């Protein structure tokens, strides 16, 4: 009896063990994380698409720009430029020295003398113009751009006629005319560097009296006869015409004294802007034409010469 009971117990235990194994086999496999499952799906899709691998981030619905990631370049490497040769450095120094010399001459001679000099040595004007453009590129702003913006704003506000005419005294290569193609711009300078420029002494420009709406002096009040330039601007401007002056701030002893002397030449200051770095911008309205007697009593306008340091 005992032997039979033992055999029954053994069979019962074996049945339990087999049931447990069966239960273990029927258990669901442990679920994989979402990323692993999607990675598996991605591999299946790749096989169907000829083995082309699609990034996991795309499979997960993340938008990725197809461009290459930005490369972080060292600032020192970015600034590096080919160092000029000895010959190139010598040429640069000679050009700079020539520009400084011509610049000093322009500030210490009359307009008539400057016209005579450049008519005999036109290559000097080219050298000066090249050096001046190089200097402008170093400034925080180009004052001519500010004048262009100012004129466009005045046109929008209807403070100027829609088809106004402008006299640009000391125009260089006539960039003002290039910027205001819808307007009539008369460009004057000591030498005509292109077909838009009329070569003349700015004390005597070939325009009839009271014929323009705006007169512009952008860094062009040079020489020993500044009063004659302002007097000529008064002549060619229409009544209530606008004169715009932009000059380097360091040239003024006192801006208020300069304004007072210009107002004695038949003008009224309507705007003064010294907020822009390095420069002063002045707007004047023509208040009256000058009589012959008044022209004899005009004050002598002076500004300090703008001399560039040797580098």
DSSP for 141-198, please give it. S-HHHHHHHHHHHHHHTTSS-TT-EEEEET-TTTHHHHH-TTSEEEEEESS-SSTTEE
| Cα–Cα distance measured from residue 67 to residue 146, given in angstroms and rounded to the nearest whole number | 39
Q: What is the pLDDT of residue 82?
A: 73
Please write the tens of the pLDDT for every residue from 105-151. 788 888 888 888 888 888 888 888 788 888 888 888 999 999 999 99
φ and ψ of 243, to 5 deg: -115, 125
| Cα–Cα distance measured from residue 115 to residue 32, given in angstroms and rounded to the nearest whole number | 89
Q: What is the pLDDT of residue 135?
A: 83
Nearest alpha carbon to residue 219 among 269, 275, 172, 266: 172
Name every residue whose Cβ is closer than 8 Å to that of residue 165 and which is 6 or more positions away in sequence.
183, 184, 185, 186, 211, 212, 213, 214
Q: Please list the residues that pair with 166 across neighbouring strands.
A: 185, 214
The pTM assigned to this predicted structure is 0.69
Q: What is the pLDDT of residue 40?
A: 65
Burial of 114 (0-12, 13-18, 19+ CB in 10 A): buried
Please write the tens of the pLDDT for every residue from 174-208. 999 999 999 999 999 998 989 999 999 999 999 99
| Residue 218 near residue 170, CB atoms below 8 Å | yes
Angle at 106 between CA 104 and CA 111, to 5 degrees: 160
How far apart, in Å, are the Cα atoms of 110 and each of 171, 197, 303?
A: 18, 20, 14
Sign of CA pseudo-dihedral 215, 161, 183, 282: positive
Angle at 156 between CA 155 and CA 159, to 5 degrees: 50
> Which of the residues in the chain have pLDDT under 70?
1-81, 86-93, 95, 307-311
Q: What is the pLDDT of residue 35?
A: 55
HSE-CB for 305 with a 13 A CA cutoff: 15
Q: What does DSSP say about strands 165-169 and 212-218: parallel, antiparallel, or unpaired?
A: parallel
């Amino acid at each position: 009896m005992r032997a039979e009971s033992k055999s029954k117990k053994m069979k019962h235990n074996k049945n339990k063990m087999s049931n447990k194994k069966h239960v273990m086999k029927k258990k669901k496999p442990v679920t994989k994380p979402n990323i692993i499952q999607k990675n598996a799906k991605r591999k299946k899709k790749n096989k169907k698409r000829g083995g082309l691998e699609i990034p996991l981030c795309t499979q997960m619905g993340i938008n990725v720009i197809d461009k290459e990631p930005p490369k972080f370049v060292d600032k020192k490497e970015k600034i590096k430029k080919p160092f000029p040769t000895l010959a190139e450095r010598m040429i640069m120094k000679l050009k700079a020295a020539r520009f400084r010399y011509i610049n000093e001459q322009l500030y210490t001679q009359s307009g008539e003398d400057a016209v005579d000099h450049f008519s005999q040595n036109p290559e000097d004007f080219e050298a000066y113009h090249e050096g001046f453009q190089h200097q402008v590129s170093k400034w925080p702003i180009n004052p001519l751009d500010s004048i262009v913006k100012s004129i466009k704003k005045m046109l929008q506000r209807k403070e100027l006629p829609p088809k106004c005419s402008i006299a640009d005294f000391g125009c260089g290569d006539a960039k003002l005319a290039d910027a205001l193609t819808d307007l009539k711009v008369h460009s004057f300078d000591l030498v005509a560097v292109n077909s838009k420029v009329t070569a003349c002494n700015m004390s005597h420009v070939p325009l009839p009296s009271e014929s323009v709406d705006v007169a512009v002096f952008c860094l062009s009040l040079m020489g020993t006869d500044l009063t004659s330039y302002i007097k000529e601007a008064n002549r060619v401007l229409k009544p209530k015409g606008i004169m715009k002056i932009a000059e380097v701030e360091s040239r003024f002893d006192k801006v208020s004294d300069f304004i007072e002397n210009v107002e004695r030449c038949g003008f009224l200051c309507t705007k003064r802007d010294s907020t822009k770095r390095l420069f002063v911008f002045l707007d004047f309205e023509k208040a009256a034409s000058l009589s012959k007697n008044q022209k004899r009593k005009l004050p002598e306008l002076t500004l300090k010469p703008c001399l560039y340091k040797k580098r």
